């Protein structure tokens, strides 16, 4: 067992980037196993902020290999931009950034299809990041997709044109949207040259060999478990398996290689885009969480919807992921509240339950709140549990009781060093 997993237990943006960056020092390889540039993972290192979309968050640690796995979908234009930005930092990374031959490519027309599909849905729209994620995974499962390995084959241009033309025909089924295909296509092909400079690997052989050699591997999830294509709040989800099972298919490893599953939750809850969110707040507290937590999307800049932490939702995602360690992030955001709440149960048609119903969109779910005294003290940046205000410690232990599991890490600020590691 050599593979640990870090993933989000809510609707994304739990602070995965920060935690992967912190823990990466204990590993030789960090891999992304699903999602694509819909992800925005923020790292803050010595005052500098970096946002990664496709590149794994272990890239700032010297000597660590970072792999974009086969389960990821890659937009050459976004990846090229990300690489250029990273080059400006002066770190050496190109030789440490590897990409699976089997990762699928996002074409410009995938993005147009995403936009056209969303526009046609009106009020029912998913709130997609419009990065072309859904249409690219549709082509993958529909067996029409283009993969990184195809770039090196002589038939690539013909395959590209055939898929693009299919997309253009599909686009005619939708109300028209504006795009500049010629310009974007040219850029896309130029950016493919950057991908060609990366080491393209058979990820499954590479990782299994690394496991044999005793290397330690960290798999970095994107999005959150409630956005999982099978177990999330369908249809308001993304198009990949964001949960632990996605690691096996997204990297080519067997389940028995997975050791720890490190699940991240904020000390409250956010969601960006459409779809149900039982503990969402529409009052001053919600606005305050958004403001103090600086809850704006790292990819799209959209304001995130905010609410209290949701225990039935978390129990569900602890279960489907087989979480062995919990990370609680953004506890400092709750520093100045008179009262702090946790949605402990759901009341549905007058019946209390801690199980998620089949469809959260059509049920009237009333959260039943547990209410705690706020600590009203600044503790941002603390890395010592003993130095937390007593009421903050009490909140953490109440959450542990509700979840039935200890909380191993507590994050108290965006900086790499603002993390409490507990002996639990």
Binding stretches for Mg ion (CB under 5 A): 13, 40, 298
Angle at 345 between CA 394 and CA 375, to 5 degrees: 25
Q: Does 70 bind ligand IMO (CB under 6 A)?
A: no
Residue 416 is encoded by which pair of tokens?
Answer: 């790499």
Query: In Å, what is the CA distance from 309 to each residue of 41, 336, 344?
Result: 21, 16, 9
- Catalytic residue at 336? no
Write out the binding residues for ligand GDP, residues 301-340 only, by CB under 6 A: 329-330, 332-333
One residue of 7, 21, 35, 41 binding ligand GDP per CB under 6 A: 41
Write each residue from 6 to 25 as x if it is in contact with ligand GDP (CB under 6 A), else as -, in one continuous string.
--x---xxxxxxx-------
The DSSP string of 194-261 is: HHHHSEEE-HHHHHHHHHHTT--EEEEP-S-GGG-TTTSSTTSS-SS--STHHHHHHHT--GGGEEEE
Q: Does 40 bind ligand GDP (CB under 6 A)?
A: yes
- Catalytic residue at 41? yes
Q: Does 128 bind ligand IMO (CB under 6 A)?
A: yes
Query: In Å, what is the CA distance from 123 to each residue of 71, 120, 168?
Result: 30, 9, 25
Q: Given the complex with Mg ion, which of 40 and 135 has the nearer CB atom?
A: 40
Nearest approach in angstroms of CB 400 to ligand IMO is 24
With 0-12 CB in 10 A as exposed, 13-18 as middle and 19+ as buried, what is 220? buried
Q: Does 39 bind ligand IMO (CB under 6 A)?
A: yes
Secondary structure element (H or E) that encloses residue 343, with its range: strand 339-348
With 0-12 CB in 10 A as exposed, 13-18 as middle and 19+ as buried, what is 176? exposed
Choose among ligand GDP, ligand IMO, Mg ion, none what residue 238 binds, the Cβ cut-off being 5 to 8 Å by kind. ligand IMO
Q: Does 298 bind ligand GDP (CB under 6 A)?
A: yes
Q: Given the complex with ligand IMO, which of 134 and 276 has the nearer CB atom?
A: 134
Residue 394 is encoded by which pair of tokens?
Answer: 């009490």
Residues annotated catalytic, as ranges: 13, 41
Binding site for ligand IMO (CB under 6 A): 8, 11-13, 38-41, 126-129, 131, 133-134, 222-224, 227, 238, 272-273, 298
Binding site for ligand GDP (CB under 6 A): 8, 12-18, 40-42, 44, 298, 329-330, 332-333, 411-414
């Amino acid at each position: 067992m050599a593979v640990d997993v870090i993933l989000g237990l809510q609707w994304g943006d739990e602070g995965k980037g920060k935690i992967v960056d912190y823990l990466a020092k204990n590993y030789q390889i960090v891999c992304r196993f699903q999602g694509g540039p819909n992800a925005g993972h923020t790292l803050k290192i010595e005052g500098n902020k970096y946002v990664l979309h496709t590149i794994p968050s272990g890239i700032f640690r010297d000597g660590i290999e970072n792999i974009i796995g086969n389960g990821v979908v890659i937009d050459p234009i976004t990846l090229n931009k990300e690489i250029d930005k990273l080059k400006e930092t002066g770190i050496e990374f190109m030789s440490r950034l590897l990409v699976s031959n089997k990762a699928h490519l996002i074409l410009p027309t995938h993005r147009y299809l995403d936009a056209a599909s969303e526009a046609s849905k009106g009020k029912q729209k998913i709130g997609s990041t419009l990065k072309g994620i859904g249409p690219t995974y549709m082509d993958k499962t529909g067996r029409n997709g283009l993969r990184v390995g195809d770039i090196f084959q002589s038939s690539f241009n013909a395959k590209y044109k055939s898929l693009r033309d299919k997309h253009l025909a599909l686009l005619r089924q939708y109300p028209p949207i504006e795009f500049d295909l010629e310009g974007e296509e040219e850029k896309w092909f130029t950016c493919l040259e950057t991908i060609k400079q990366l080491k393209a690997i058979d990820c499954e052989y590479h990782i299994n060999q690394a496991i044999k050699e005793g290397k330690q591997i960290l798999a970095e999830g994107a999005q959150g478990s409630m956005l999982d294509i099978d177990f999330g709040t369908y249809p308001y989800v993304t198009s990949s398996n964001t949960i632990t099972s996605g690691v096996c298919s997204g990297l080519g490893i067997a389940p028995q290689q997975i050791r720890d599953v490190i699940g991240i939750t904020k000390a409250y809850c956010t969601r960006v885009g459409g779809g149900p969110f039982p503990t969402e707040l529409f009052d001053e507290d919600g606005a305050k969480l958004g403001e103090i937590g600086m809850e704006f999307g790292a990819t799209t800049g959209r304001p995130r919807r905010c609410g209290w932490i949701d225990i039935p939702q978390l129990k569900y995602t602890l279960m489907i992921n087989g979480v062995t360690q919990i990370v609680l992030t953004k506890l400092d955001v709750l520093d100045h509240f008179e009262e702090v709440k946790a949605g402990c149960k759901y009341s549905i048609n007058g019946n209390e339950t801690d199980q998620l119903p089949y469809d959260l969109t059509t049920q009237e779910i009333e959260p039943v709140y547990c209410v705690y005294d706020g600590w009203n003290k600044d503790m941002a940046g603390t890395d010592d549990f003993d130095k937390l205000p007593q009421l903050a410690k009490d909140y953490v232990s109440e959450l542990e009781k509700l979840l039935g599991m200890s909380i191993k890490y507590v994050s108290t600020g965006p900086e790499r060093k603002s993390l409490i590691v507990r002996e639990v």
